[in-house]
Every structure is written in C-alpha cells, then in structure tokens.
Amino acid sequence: MHIVVCIKQVPDTSDVKINPETNTLIREGVVSIINPFDENAVEAALVLKEKLGAKVTVMTMGPPQAESALRETIALGVDDVVLLSDRAFAGSDTWATSYALGKGIAHLEERPDLILFGKQAIDGDTAQVGPGVAEFLNLPIITYVRKVEVEGQLAKVERVFEDGYERMEAELPLVLTVLKEMNVPRMASLRGRMKAKKAEIKKWTAAEIGADPENTGLAGSPTKVVKIFSPPKKVGGIKIEGTAALDAARTVVGKLKEQKVI
Amino acid sequence: MFIQGLTDEYVDYLKDESRLIGYAEGICFPESEAQVQEVVRGAWQKDMPLTFQGARTGITAGAVPKGGWILNLSRMNRIRALRLDEAVGAFRLTVEPGILLCDLQRRLEETAFDTADWDEESLKALARFRESGPHFFSPDPTETTASLGGMAACNASGARSFRYQSMRAHVRGLRVVTQRGEVLSMRRGELVADHGEFSMHSEQGTVFTGRLPGGVPPKVSKCAAGYFLDPSMDLTDLFIGAEGTLGVITEITVGLLPLPKTIWGVMIFLPEESAAWRFIQEVRALQGKGGADLLAAVEYFDGSALNLLRGIHGGGMDDLPVLKERWNSAVYVEYHGEEEPLEQALEELCGCMERYGLQDEDAWIADHPRERERMRLFRHAVPETVNGLIAERKKMHPGLTKLGTDMAVPDERLEEMMRMYREDLNRSGLESVIFGHIGNNHVHVNIIPRDPGEYEAGKRLYLNWAARVVDWGGTVSAEHGIGKLKAPFLKLMVGESELREWMALKRVFDPKELFNPGNLFGV
Ligand SMILES: Cc1cc2nc3c(=O)[nH]c(=O)nc-3n(C[C@H](O)[C@H](O)[C@H](O)COP(=O)(O)OP(=O)(O)OC[C@H]3O[C@@H](n4cnc5c(N)ncnc54)[C@H](O)[C@@H]3O)c2cc1C
C-alpha cells in the first residue's frame, strides 16, 4: 500500500502580528511551520503505515525553503519526500496548485492507494486543493474526515458535518481531507531527526513532471485577486449592565424578540 | 502605604502557595527603599515582628505572617538600571525586589523598558544591549509569577539550573535593609569573610561583625536550606537564601546571559525505572566529553507520573501524544548551544540509547519552539494533575495536603536515594509520583494521601527519608527553601547546637528577632 500526503509550509499565524498602520501581516521573524491540519494527515498516514505496513510519501509544492517542512516529516517517520519547486510554479492559485500536485503524484513511480490532505491551509483557508487534486486525478474524494480504517481495498471513513457525522465506505484509490480531531500528531523521534538532517530530498521541476506551462504559476491561475483588505472590525454592540443575572437575561431575551431573532 | 488591622480585602496576604494561613496586625506596601527603612525603623521602636512578602508563590509558608506587620514588596517593581560590565562583556540589570519574573522575562524578550528614571549610563548600555542579540535571565522556578526578591531570598532554581546554577550564581549585588532601618549595600567580589570572621558597614556607619558558624555544608549541587556558609565567603551570599531572616532585600543586581542559538529538548522513555536511573548517570557522565557539556537540564518522571498523564488523556490534555504502555519512566534532557556541537551531543545520546536497547520511537525531540512548548506542557501536567487530585480529596478530608519532598543528595547516592523512595513507597501502598531535577540528584516525591491515616503514614516516611538524606551528606531542601513548614527538617540537618550558632549570626543583624519569625528556626 502506498499513501501520499500533500503538505504546505505556512507562516505560524499564532505568532503573526498585524501592522496597525497598514493592516497587513508582519512577516519578518515569523517562523514557518507545517500547516497544522496537514500534520494530522501525516499522522493518519503513519498510523496506517504502522498497522498495515504501508509506504508513506510526502509531497509539497513550494519555494526551496519548503524543504525544511519535508525534513520535519522524515523525522516523524515518512519514507520518501518530494519537493515540487520551480519558478514556473510561483503565484499559483488553488487551481494551478492542484494541477501541479496532480501532475507530481501522477509522476510517482508507485501509484498511491490513498492520498491525504489537511482539511485546509491556515494561511488561505480555501479547502480547495484536496478536492482539486482529486478532480485532476479523477479519483473519488471524501472531505472533513475524522476517522479512517482500511480493510483490503476498502476504506471505512467517518465524515463530519456541523450537526453530526456519517459513516462511509469507499474503494481505494481514494482522496481524503482530514480534521484536527482525527488524531494527536506524534513528536519527531531523535533518530528520525538525525536521519532527516542527512536525507536526500527529491526535487522535481515543472518540466520533469510534464506540467504544461500554460497551466502553472500565475499564468495558469484563473483566480484574479482584485483587492486585499481586512474586514472592518466589528463595532458597537450593547453591554447589558444588570446587577442580577436574571434581569440581564430578561433584557437579552427582550432584545432578541425585538429583532425577531426568537 | 500602611494599613492598620487586616480588613477582609487583605486576607489573601495571610497565606502563600503552601495554603497555610497566618495572622497579622497590619500590612504595608512601601514604594521605595526609604519607605521600607521607615517601616523597619518603626517596627524596631515598637518591637513589632515583620514578615516580608514578595509574590507569595513560596510553598513552605516563608511569607506567611505569624503576627506583627506584613511588609509587602509588590509595589517596588521597577527596573532601575542597566550596565555593561566591559571586563567580562556581560550585561547587569538592577531591579527592585517586587518585580515578577514573568515581567522581567517579557521586558528582556522585547528589550522594552520603562527608561524614564534611567541615568545616562543605563541608556547607553541599553543601546549596546539592543545590538547584542537576545539575552535571558536563567533562574526559572517554573512559577514565573515569583518575585526576584523572593527568588533571591530563597535561592530559587529550576530545571535549567543543572547548567546555569541557582539564583545565587546570578546575583551580582544586593541592597538590604536591616535592624533600625539601616542599609547594607554589597557588590559581589567586594567584601569577603576572613577565616570565618566577617565585618560590614551599613551606610549609616554601624559596623556589623561576627563569626560564621562552622559545620559541614551538604555536598550537593543545589541547596536552599538556610544560610550559605564558608570561611572565605562573599558576604553577598549570606543574604541569598537567608529567607529574609537577616533583613529585607530592597534592590538586586542580576547578570544576564546571551540566549543560546539553538535549544533542543529530548524526552526519552524507558521500560524500567532502575534502567532510567543508570541511564541518567551515563548521560551526565558524557558531560565534558565532546558536545555533551551543552546539557542544560536533566529531568525525570517515574512510572506513576506517566500513568497519571495516561489517565488525563482526553481530559483537557489532548495535545499530548499517546504514551506507550511499555514505557515506565521518562527522562527529559535539554541541550543549549550552537548547532554543530549539538548534533554531536545528540549522536552521543543516540549511542547511549542503543546501549540500553531503546528503539527509535522511544525518544521524542523538540527543536521547534512549538514542539518545545508541547513538551513543557507535558512536564507541567504532572504537578498540576497532582494538585488537582489533592484538591479533589480535600473535599472529603479538609486536613489533607500534598506531601512534597525537595531533597538532594551527592552524585554517588543518586541510585540509592531512588531505590529508597521506590521500595518504601511500594511497601507503604501510598499513592505517589516522583519527578524533578534528577540531574542534580534532586527529585520531588509527591505523596497523594487518600485519607488522614495515609497522610500521617506519609509524614513518617518523609521524616525517615530526611534522616537518610542527611546521613548521606544531602540537603533537606534543594530549591523550595525551609520557610516555616520545613524548619524541623533543617534542625535535623544542621543539628541543635549549630542552629544556635545560626541564631547568633541572625542576631548580629536582627538582635530583637523581628525579621520573618518562624523562618528557618521554627515557631
Ligand atoms: C507551582 C510551583 C512550582 C514551583 N517550582 C519551584 C522550582 O522549581 N524551584 C524553586 O526554587 N521554587 C519553586 N517554587 C517556589 C517559589 O516559586 C519560589 O520559592 C520563589 O522563589 C518565591 O518567590 P516569591 O516572590 O513568591 O516569594 P514569597 O513566597 O513571597 O516569599 C518567599 C520567602 O522569601 C522572603 N522574601 C520575599 N521577598 C523578600 C525580600 N525582598 N527580602 C527578604 N525576604 C524576602 C519571604 O519572607 C519568604 O520567606 C514553586 C512554586 C509553585 C507554586
């Protein structure tokens, strides 16, 4: 069994400060991390590897420094990593990213049985790349997964909704995007860390994976960003300064009725 | 500044983290050394006992008053000066005693100080400081809301004291207000004892002379059990760890250290406790060879501590990876330094693990701040969970408290000490966890009694252990101090006749025995 996990290196947003004048992120000094949901995807792959003896490959598309994210996953115990890195990929939107990753996966020697993604990246929050790749590879996809088991060629999956979850079964090969509640990512092992430092990282260019220049990078991105702005801060609101909790609650109920909310 | 009588809003000041509750006739919050002098003078005239308070995070009731007035230093919390000691290229910060460790840490991190009252030299030093890369203040008793004054008074230390030593090593100077409100000002290296005799002048011109008690100090790397004594000691050291029995600290100058470039934490899990104790000694022995002198902390968690953590999985500590069933103890080591020698230290550690037949997955590494934070939470979860358990049991039996030891022994006694704890605890059937700073042969045994009978049994065990530890040349307190709660243990360690000499020393500075009554000497 071969499991591929796609990850993204993102700025640690828990660490990001906003420049109050320009309202933009101050990126200096912000450390890069593996997108947290992707860590859950890697963990899910490693758990399956332990159970079923699978091979795990991690792939990322990104600038050369994304290599450090791949090394981190080697320290966690993945078998192989691939970095798709090329100037031609610069400026990719979710469509072009999905295209490139799809090409990269198709270029792997061993066909994957399972392809895992985090539910979304914390810097863009689109949740589109997993489904995009599934589409390019013409594979079935289940999103928002909190649990997966594999028996033979069958995956048993729990997919979460706002108000519940559904149990699904699907045949491999299959694409999944996973939630945080799926697992607790392991810590890197000491020896894994040493191995990671020396590991050879496969680097593939757009040409090597046979990506059409028309479809990659800025040129291949149908999304046009017209304007970036911070949403206006929420202002106002009413503070109910009642002494007794009961009075305060009554006032709230009154207001809600007024607004026809209840 | 002064509040006569203790109204309801001040009752919190009658206790500290030991949860012992005292009593007092008044409380004051001086804002300057001059005001402290005024209070101490007033107390002298009225023969009024004084209890000094920092942030009341102490756990031996050192800041719990037994009558008299409380002198609380929380409003003296300014950073007064910064200097660059050109000779050694080190920065020194002068602070008031009430500043909290967490505030100091934040200021250093952000290099942001309130410089309104700073002199020219401090401002110049600040400019240099900002160009000199990040610095830190190393003593960290994990409870970061402690005050610097309290930390100096107790000679506090923490996990990283394995490499950086306790508070004492970082105090470069002190100002102390002693009897009649007189001020002693000292800087390290300026005034030392001579063959056990000492003599110092107050700024008011009074001469304080005396003879230091003899006796053999414990042969341990960490000690917070009363006076530091040595025939040729620096007199600054007399006031560090004195727990406010000689006077009140009104100003402290501390040394800062450059922040290491790289910090790595490694948590190693072992199947057996006794193997862990040997493993620790081997890791420690690597010290000095190759890169291993970068070792900054060596901590231990016994099997019960791991079980405790397994129990809370899914209960708020969800961020902890699963602990394998076959793990029965854990050792945490932290390395500080430059990347290259660190790699070598890790190679050596790997070699050590191999000799113990450990597998890849038996050692976690944290080289990312985020990962280190996860490991910190792991380590903190142990004492926190114990406290939670005690709080739960207190509901049934209000008299219960945690029984926590704080003893350290010389290097060669480590295994013997651990075996003693393990065998006695197994035999007693008491619930317990053992964790702490094992690199310094210093662990905390926490006995978690289920009922008053067990509480008494635990106390008996504790007393037996203290006697053994003293026999081995150890200390009854390595970091928490003696305060009021552990005074009987100090007596056991120092002996009655020498303790009388200690009292004579105290009376040189405090002839009326007004300062922190009960601390060290008991009530
Ligand atoms: C969860 C927890 C974990 C802890 N872990 C550690 C640890 O790992 N290592 C460690 O060393 N400690 C530890 N401690 C104990 C505590 O944090 C330290 O003892 C600390 O140094 C006390 O500082 P404080 O300001 O709270 O002092 P207080 O509790 O206010 O006072 C402590 C003693 O110092 C005296 N004192 C305070 N200020 C002055 C002054 N200006 N002049 C003269 N005397 C003064 C008081 O009279 C009292 O005797 C821990 C405490 C807690 C609650």
Q: What is the DSSP string of chain A?
A: -EEEEE--EEE-GGG-EE-TTT--EE-TTPPEEE-HHHHHHHHHHHHHHHHH--EEEEEEES-GGGHHHHHHHHHHT-SEEEEE--GGGTT--HHHHHHHHHHHHHHSSSPPSEEEEES--TTT----HHHHHHHHHT--EEEEEEEEEEETTEEEEEEEETTEEEEEEEESSEEEEE-GGG--PPPEEHHHHHHHHH---EEE-TTTTT--GGGSTTTT---------PPPPP--------SSHHHHHHHHHHHHHHTT--
Amino acid at B373: E
Are both B187 and B63 inside the same structural domain?
A: no
Q: Supply the pLDDT for residue B285.
A: 86
B220 neighbors B440 (Cβ within 8 angstroms): yes
| Whole-number Å distance between alpha carbons of B220 and B300 | 18
Are both B162 and B244 inside the same structural domain?
A: yes
**In this structure, is the dihedral angle defined by the CA atoms of residues A137, A142, A145 and A148, taken in order, positive or negative?**
negative
Kindly indicate the confidence band of residue A241, based on its pLDDT and cuts at 50, 70 and 90: confident
Residue of B nearest to A50 (CA): B361
Kindly indicate the confidence band of residue A27, based on its pLDDT and cuts at 50, 70 and 90: low
Instruction: Provide the Cα torsion B479, B485, B489, B493; round to 10°.
Output: 50
Residue B314 has pLDDT above 50, yes or no: no
Are both B15 and B122 inside the same structural domain?
A: no
Are both B122 and B229 inside the same structural domain?
A: yes
Domain assignment present for B172: yes
- Residue at a domain's end among B351, B386, B421: B386
Lowest mean pLDDT among A6-15, A124-133, A177-186: A6-15
Q: Supply the pLDDT for residue B316.
A: 44
In chain B, the N- to C-terminal Cα span, in Å, equals 28
- Please state, rounded to an integer, the average pLDDT across all residues of chain A: 91
Asked if A194 and B361 come within 8 Å (Cβ–Cβ), the reply is: no
- Of chain B, the percentage scoring pLDDT greater than 90 comes to 79
Distance of CA A81 to the CA centre of its chain: 16
Check CB contact of B340 with chain A, cutoff 8 Å: no
Are both B308 and B324 inside the same structural domain?
A: yes
Q: Supply the pLDDT for residue A16.
A: 65
Q: What is the mean pLDDT of residues A41-65?
A: 96
Are both B376 and B230 inside the same structural domain?
A: no
Domain assignment present for B441: no
Are both B118 and B230 inside the same structural domain?
A: yes
Ligand 1 atom closest to residue B51's alpha carbon, by position in its atom list: 47
Residue of A nearest to B369 (CA): A31
Residue A15 has pLDDT above 60, yes or no: yes
Asked if A191 and B370 come within 8 Å (Cβ–Cβ), the reply is: no
Domain assignment present for B510: no
- Residue at a domain's end among B217, B235, B257: B257
Q: Supply the pLDDT for residue B339.
A: 86
| Whole-number Å distance between alpha carbons of A26 and A19 | 6
Residue B315 has pLDDT above 50, yes or no: no
Lowest mean pLDDT among A9-18, B29-38, B198-207, B336-345: A9-18
Domain assignment present for B448: no
Residue A11 has pLDDT above 60, yes or no: yes
Are both B111 and B251 inside the same structural domain?
A: yes
Domain assignment present for B489: no
Lowest mean pLDDT among A111-125, A218-232, B44-58: A218-232
What is the CA(B150)–ligand 1 centre distance, in A? 5
Kindly indicate the confidence band of residue B110, based on its pLDDT and cuts at 50, 70 and 90: confident
Inter-chain CB pairs, A–B, below 8 Å: 59
Going by the DSSP 8-state scheme, the letter that residue B316 receives in this structure is T
Amino acid at A211: A
Are both B147 and B64 inside the same structural domain?
A: no
Are both B45 and B179 inside the same structural domain?
A: no
A39 neighbors A75 (Cβ within 8 angstroms): no
Are both B216 and B178 inside the same structural domain?
A: yes
Asked if A194 and B347 come within 8 Å (Cβ–Cβ), the reply is: yes
Q: Which domain holds residue B11?
A: 2-72
A75 neighbors A189 (Cβ within 8 angstroms): yes
Count up the domains in chain B and report the number. Answer: 3
- Please state, rounded to an integer, the average pLDDT across all residues of chain B: 93
> In chain A, what residues touch B320 (CB-CB under 8 Å)?
184
A3-15 burial by CB neighbour count: b if 16+ within 10 A, else e?
bbbbbbbbebeee
In terms of Cβ atoms closer than 10 Å to its own Cβ (0-12, 13-18, 19+), residue B245 is buried
| Whole-number Å distance between alpha carbons of B110 and B129 | 11
Are both B246 and B292 inside the same structural domain?
A: no
Indicate which CATH number applies to the domain containing B219: 3.30.465.10
Substitution candidate for ligand 1 out of B59, B155, B223 with most atoms within 8 A of CB:
B59
Ligand 1 atom closest to residue B53's alpha carbon, by position in its atom list: 30
Indicate which CATH number applies to the domain containing B66: 3.30.43.10
